[in-house]
């Protein structure tokens, strides 16, 4: 049967518009595992500065082996949702390990952090509740709140990024709400900034609110042992709900989770729609993530290497004349202004052997387009020095340094 011609034409026109606006995304194909350097079809081997492979575990032999072993032991997957056809013991082991790692009594896995966030918000709010969200929260949080609002008619608000006075004011204005929830990223992915968690927790106590932190860019990254934003801020065990991904530091495959009280994860098992109507994490992915948690716990030096690499790169890039946003995470954004400048810089860096993505409006505010560098424990000093040399070459050509 012929495809709907009119629909296809309309999509083509929209794609043409994206190209005309210089925001069309071209996928690059990797022909090697994710690591400090990757082989890209048509470009050869390049240093990668745009992966969330913070601890370098995507290709860690024990993480890969654990996945292979689980594939042999459990087969490809559950074949249905967990409550209908049973769940694997590897899920229970993973969930216990994740909960312990992030300092919560219990956790529940999902096929992605996106799915976890979406499966969480709408399940725990009701009409009469108030959800307040940081202005720079990740798209998955924003969409989870939109979905919850549509489904439950709860009320919502947005506070200016990390502005505690604004957060207080928004809660004060909604003090009559039945239940109040504060939703924040632990580490904000486009800025590399860290949530003011101790202040948020205090404000939550003052207003009887629940705190939810998405620690996707902090799990395995922040804190001496990589336990996340709460460890970094000295408040481990004090956050009501933590969500995070298994698709970044913890092996980089896929998957996410919600951690909190045993009652919370039990309630989500009963009511969260992705749990009830979608298959569980494939066992091979669960096993790789479990090994990633164990590896991180027994090799805390990976976390310190990540930290040392990030501060070395920051120093060198500043010395080269660039002005990255200040911060202490492995996310080092270099603001270049116009979206076209960020895209051009990224293409020129690739030609110089560095794969790093440029982000423009609407992902970041207008005029604040950036090349976002992400550092990994897998990078050697040579990798980082070579990357800085490439930045200098491109920066001079673009009159940035």
Ligand X SMILES: Cc1ncc(COP(=O)(O)O)c(C=O)c1O
Stretch that binds ligand X, among 16-24, 109-117, 152-160, 330-338 (CB under 6 A): 109-117
Q: Where are the beta strands (DSSP E) in 71-200?
A: 106-110, 130-134, 155-159, 180-185
**372 forms part of the interface with ligand X (CB under 6 A):** no
Query: Coil, helix or strand for 142?
Result: helix
> Beta partners for 332?
373
Stretch that binds ligand X, among 70-78, 110-118, 280-288, 321-329 (CB under 6 A): 110-118
Indicate the residue among 88 and 110 with the shorter CB distance to ligand X.
110
**DSSP of 236-297, one letter per residue?**
TT--SEEEEESSSSS-SSSBEEEEE-HHHHHHHHHH-HHHHHSPPPPHHHHHHHHHHHHHHH
Stretch that binds ligand X, among 63-71, 111-119, 146-154, 196-204 (CB under 6 A): 111-119
Nearest-approach distance from CB 316 to ligand X, in angstroms: 25
Sign of dihedral through CA atoms 297, 300, 305, 310? Answer: positive
Quick one: which of 105, 110, 73, 72 has its CA closest to 91?
110
Which of 133, 144, 189, 288 is an active site residue? 189
**140 forms part of the interface with ligand X (CB under 6 A):** yes
Sign of dihedral through CA atoms 222, 224, 227, 230? Answer: negative
Query: Coil, helix or strand for 330?
Result: coil
Q: Give, as one character, the DSSP assignment of residue 324.
A: B
Out of 114, 159, 313, 391, point to the residue binding ligand X (CB under 6 A): 114
Q: Does residue 80 carry a catalytic annotation?
A: no
Indicate the residue among 247 and 360 with the shorter CB distance to ligand X.
247
Out of 37, 82, 91, 138, point to the residue binding ligand X (CB under 6 A): 138
Give the C-alpha separation, 17 to 22, whole Å.
9
**134 forms part of the interface with ligand X (CB under 6 A):** no
Q: Does residue 189 carry a catalytic annotation?
A: yes
Q: Does residue 346 carry a catalytic annotation?
A: no
**229 forms part of the interface with ligand X (CB under 6 A):** no
Helix (H) or strand (E) holding 214: strand 209-214
**184 forms part of the interface with ligand X (CB under 6 A):** no
**247 forms part of the interface with ligand X (CB under 6 A):** yes
Out of 229, 245, 296, 357, point to the residue binding ligand X (CB under 6 A): 245
- Mark 201-220 with x for binding to ligand X (rule: CB under 6 A) and - for no binding: -------------x-xx---
**107 forms part of the interface with ligand X (CB under 6 A):** no
Touching ligand X, residues 19-78 (CB under 6 A)? none
* Number of neighbours of residue 292 by Cβ within 10 angstroms: 27
Nearest-approach distance from CB 286 to ligand X, in angstroms: 14
Indicate the residue among 248 and 392 with the shorter CB distance to ligand X.
248
Query: Coil, helix or strand for 127?
Result: coil
How many residues lie near ligand X (CB under 6 A)?
A: 13
| Residues 314 and 332 sit within 8 Å (Cβ to Cβ) | yes
Query: Coil, helix or strand for 138?
Result: coil
Query: Coil, helix or strand for 134?
Result: strand
Indicate the residue among 189 and 309 with the shorter CB distance to ligand X.
189
Which of 91, 248, 379, 392 is an active site residue? 248
| Residues 242 and 210 sit within 8 Å (Cβ to Cβ) | no
Task: Return residues touching ligand X (CB under 6 A).
Answer: 112-114, 138, 140, 185, 189, 214, 216-217, 245, 247, 256
Point out the residues that are catalytic: 189, 217, 248
């Amino acid at each position: 049967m012929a495809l709907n011609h009119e629909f296809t034409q309309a999509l083509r026109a929209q794609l043409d518009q994206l190209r005309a606006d210089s925001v069309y995304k071209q996928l690059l194909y990797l022909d090697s595992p994710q690591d400090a350097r990757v082989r890209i079809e048509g470009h050869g081997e390049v240093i990668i500065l745009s992966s969330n492979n913070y601890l370098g575990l995507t290709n860690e032999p024990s993480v890969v082996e654990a996945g292979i072993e689980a594939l042999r032991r459990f087969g490809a997957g559950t074949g249905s949702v967990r409550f209908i056809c049973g769940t694997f013991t590897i899920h229970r082991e993973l969930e216990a390990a994740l909960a312990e790692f992030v300092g919560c009594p219990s956790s529940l896995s999902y096929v992605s952090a996106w799915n976890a966030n979406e499966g969480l918000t709408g399940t725990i709010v009701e009409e009469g509740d108030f959800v307040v969200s940081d202005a720079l929260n990740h798209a998955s949080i924003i969409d989870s709140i939109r979905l919850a609002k549509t489904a439950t008619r709860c009320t919502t608000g947005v506070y200016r990024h990390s502005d505690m006075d604004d957060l207080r004011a928004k809660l004060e204005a909604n003090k009559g709400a039945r239940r109040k929830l504060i939703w924040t990223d632990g580490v904000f992915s486009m800025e590399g900034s860290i949530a003011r968690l101790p202040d948020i927790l205090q404000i939550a106590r003052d207003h009887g609110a629940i705190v939810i932190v998405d620690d996707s860019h902090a799990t395995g990254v922040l804190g001496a042992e990589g336990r996340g934003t709460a460890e970094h801020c000295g408040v481990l065990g004090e956050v009501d709900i933590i969500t995070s991904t298994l698709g970044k530091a913890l092996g980089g495959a896929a998957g996410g989770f919600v951690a909190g009280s045993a009652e919370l994860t039990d309630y989500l098992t009963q009511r969260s729609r992705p749990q009830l109507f979608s298959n569980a994490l494939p066992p091979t992915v669960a096993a790789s993530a479990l090994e990633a948690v164990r590896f991180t716990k027994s090799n805390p030096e990976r976390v310190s290497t990540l930290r040392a690499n990030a501060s070395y790169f920051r120093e060198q890039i500043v010395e080269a004349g660039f002005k990255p946003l200040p911060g202490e995470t492995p996310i080092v954004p270099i603001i270049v202004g116009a979206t076209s400048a960020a895209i051009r810089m990224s293409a020129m860096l690739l030609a110089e052997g560095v794969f790093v993505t440029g982000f423009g409006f609407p992902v970041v505010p207008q005029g604040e387009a950036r090349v976002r560098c992400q550092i990994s424990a897998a990078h050697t000093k040579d990798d980082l020095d070579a990357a800085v040399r490439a930045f200098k070459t491109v920066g001079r050509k673009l009159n940035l340094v």
